[in-house]
Amino acid sequence: MKSTQENRGPALEVHRAADRGRADYGWLQANYSFSFASYYDPARQGFGLLRVLNQDMVLGGGGFATHGHRDMEIVTFVQSGELVHEDSMGNRGVLGPGEVQVMSAGTGIQHSEANHSATEPLHLLQMWVVPAEDGTAPRWEQRLSPDSERLGRMTQLVGPHAEAREGLLTIGQDARLFATLLDDGQGSELTVPAGRRTYVHVARGELRLDGLALAAGDGASLEAAGHDRVLTFEGAGSDQPADVVVWDLP
C-alpha cells in the first residue's frame, strides 16, 4: 500500500515496511526495499542510482560466506550487534553499533560478512549505489558515527570523492548518505537541492516526515523538484529514538 503527500512540490511517496520483500533463511531474516535475490517486483527496481536497501537481522553464529561483487558502491550501517568483514584485499574489520563501512567493488572483490557473536543477533542496513564509473580500483574503509553525532541533527556519513574530508566516507558517485537519531518530539531538517532525488528509510522507531507518520521499516521517496525543498523530521515514539537514514541522489 502506498500513499502520497502533496507538500510544496512533488509528492512524498511512502513505501510501507509490510510491502517489502522478505526472506527467512533461518540464520538470516531479510527485508528488501527493492528487488533483490528471490524477491522481484518490476515496480521496485531501485530508486534512481540507489539499487539496494536491505534491512537484515543475522542470528548469532550466522553469516554470508565469501562471495564476489564488482562495479558497485556498497554501504553497510550497523544498528546493533557486531559485524565481521573480511575481503580479498586483506582487510578485516569488526563493526559495532553506529559504525559505517564503504566497500567500492570496482574491478572485483571477494568478501565475507558474519555475526561476530555466537549468541546475540546482528541488525544492519546494507545499501548499494551504482557508481559513476566502472572498472575502478576496489577500496574499503569504515568509521564510527556515535549516537551523539546524530542525536537531534542530520549528519552526513558518506559523500562523493570530490568532497573528501576527515570523518566522511567517500564513494565514486555524486550521492550522499545522511543519518539522524531523534527522541520523541525532537526534530531535524534536510534541504533537498533542486533537481535531486531523496530516499528516506526508518531503521528503528517512529517518525513524522513533513507530518507523515512513518514506522520502523517504512521508506519514503521524493522525485526531483524544480526548486530547493526543506524536509522536516520529528521523532514520534517514546519507546526508542527514530533512527533514520536519508540518501541524496542525482
Task: Write the CA distances from 225 to 109, 171, 193, 230, integer angstroms.
Answer: 37, 24, 8, 11
Tens digit of each residue's pLDDT (9 = 90 or more) over 46-82 = 999 999 999 999 999 999 999 999 999 999 999 999 9
Percent of the chain with pLDDT over 90: 93
Q: Answer whether residue 9 shows pLDDT above 70.
A: no
DSSP state of 148: H
Query: How many structural domains compose the chain?
Result: 1
Q: Answer whether residue 7 shows pLDDT above 70.
A: no
70 CB contacts (<8 Å, ≥6 apart)?
105, 106, 107, 108, 109
The neighbouring-strand residues paired with 230 are 191
CA distance 29 to 87: 23
Instruction: Kindly report the CATH number assigned to the domain that includes residue 196.
Output: 2.60.120.10
CA distance 102 to 74: 6
Write out the residue range of the structural domain in which residue 13 sits. Answer: 2-249
Tens digit of each residue's pLDDT (9 = 90 or more) over 26-56 = 999 999 999 999 999 999 999 999 999 999 9
Q: Answer whether residue 2 shows pLDDT above 60.
A: no
Q: Is 18 exposed, middle or buried (0-12, 13-18, 19+ CB in 10 A)?
A: exposed
For residues 163-178, average pLDDT? 97
In this prediction, residue 224 has a pLDDT band, given cuts at 50, 70 and 90, of: confident
The rounded mean pLDDT for the chain is 95
CA distance 197 to 176: 11
